[in-house]
């Protein structure tokens, strides 16, 4: 199987939102909230963007406090984290502001404790540096929480929200075309989409099995009939249950 990044509709939506944030009118409103059920490709797409842009990446932690957050940010940036909080903050702002480093906060729900004190620190940083921040919600209802009156200032920094949907049939077909080393007939692609419920993990799993079968039988093109009696995705029923719904 080819190792490459598949530009699904979720990827295109995310990129469009990033372009819109980059072109925003209000410099301080530079946050993008990314949400969606697990296993819809949030991490892969956001991580790929973070790698390409050299963003500083932080994963939210249950124990996060403003001090812990700022120390971790300084550590990731290789900025001296000694001295008073004020000095550390200024060094972090100087580093991020100078390089306009984007910031990614994964599992952002952990930053909502204590009246979102950690997000207040992030707001101070992005207000001063005008850097883009991408907040990835690991659970539902993060946006609803941020819409509460006490978070009005923070919510005003969110320029846009990208909701990751399950991959469509077109996305599955695209993944099959770009990743598989053999040609897949449409009926097999449709079956892979049905069983995987559009989850990339399931699609990749199925392609691996199709390629192994094609290799053993020297097939250049594989259809649904060729895979008769073969399991495409191990325990795909539980995979679909985990998704909750199937489009």
Partner 1 sequence: MSWTSHTLLTLIAQAGENGLRVNHLAEQAGLTRAAVDSAMERLRNRGLIYRAPGAQTGYTLTDAGRGLLAAGKLLKSGPKGGHTGPRASTPGARSRIWNAMRIRIKFTADELAVLANTGPENVRKFLNGLARVDYVRPMARREAPGNPSSNGRVRWALVRDTGPAAPAVNLEKGVVFDHNTGERLAMADPVPEPSRKPRG
Binding site for partner 1 (CB under 8 A): 3-5, 44, 47-48, 50-52, 54, 56-57, 71, 74-78, 80-83, 87, 91, 104, 204-205, 208-209, 212
Cβ proximity to partner 1: between 53 and 190 the closer is 53
- Least distance CB 41 / partner 1 (angstroms): 12
Provide the H-helix boundaries in 23-58: 42-53
Cβ proximity to partner 1: between 155 and 164 the closer is 164
- Least distance CB 155 / partner 1 (angstroms): 26
Give dist(CA 26, CA 13) in Å, integer.
Answer: 21
163, containing H or E segment: strand 158-164
User: By the 8 A CB rule, do 40 and 239 touch?
Assistant: no
Pick from 22, 11, 20, 103: which is nearest to 60 by CA?
Answer: 103
Residues with Cβ < 8 Å from 54, sequence gap 6 or more?
Answer: 101, 102
- Least distance CB 199 / partner 1 (angstroms): 14
Cβ proximity to partner 1: between 99 and 147 the closer is 99
Cβ proximity to partner 1: between 154 and 232 the closer is 232
Give dist(CA 100, CA 11) in Å, integer.
Answer: 23
């Amino acid at each position: 199987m080819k190792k490459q990044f598949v530009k699904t509709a979720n990827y295109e939506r995310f990129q469009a939102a990033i372009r819109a944030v980059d072109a925003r009118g209000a410099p301080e409103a530079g946050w993008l909230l990314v949400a969606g059920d697990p296993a819809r490709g949030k991490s892969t797409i956001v991580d790929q963007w973070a790698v390409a842009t050299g963003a500083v990446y932080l994963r939210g932690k249950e124990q996060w406090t403003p001090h812990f957050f700022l120390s971790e940010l300084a550590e990731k940036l290789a900025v001296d984290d000694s001295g008073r909080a004020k000095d550390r903050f200024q060094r972090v702002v100087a580093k991020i502001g100078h390089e306009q480093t984007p910031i990614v906060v994964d599992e952002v729900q952990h930053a909502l404790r204590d009246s979102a004190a950690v997000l207040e620190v992030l707001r101070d940083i992005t207000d001063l540096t005008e850097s883009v921040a991408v907040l990835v919600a690991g659970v539902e209802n993060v946006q609803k929480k941020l819409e509460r009156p006490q978070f009005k200032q923070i919510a005003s920094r969110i320029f846009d929200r990208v909701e990751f949907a399950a991959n469509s049939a077109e996305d599955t077909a695209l993944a099959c075309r770009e990743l598989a080393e053999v040609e897949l007939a449409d009926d097999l692609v449709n079956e892979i989409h049905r069983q995987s419920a559009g989850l990339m993990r399931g699609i990749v799993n199925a392609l691996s099995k199709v390629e192994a079968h094609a290799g053993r039988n020297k097939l250049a093109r594989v259809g649904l009939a060729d895979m008769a009696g073969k399991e495409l995705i191990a325990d795909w029923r539980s995979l679909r249950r985990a998704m909750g719904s199937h489009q």
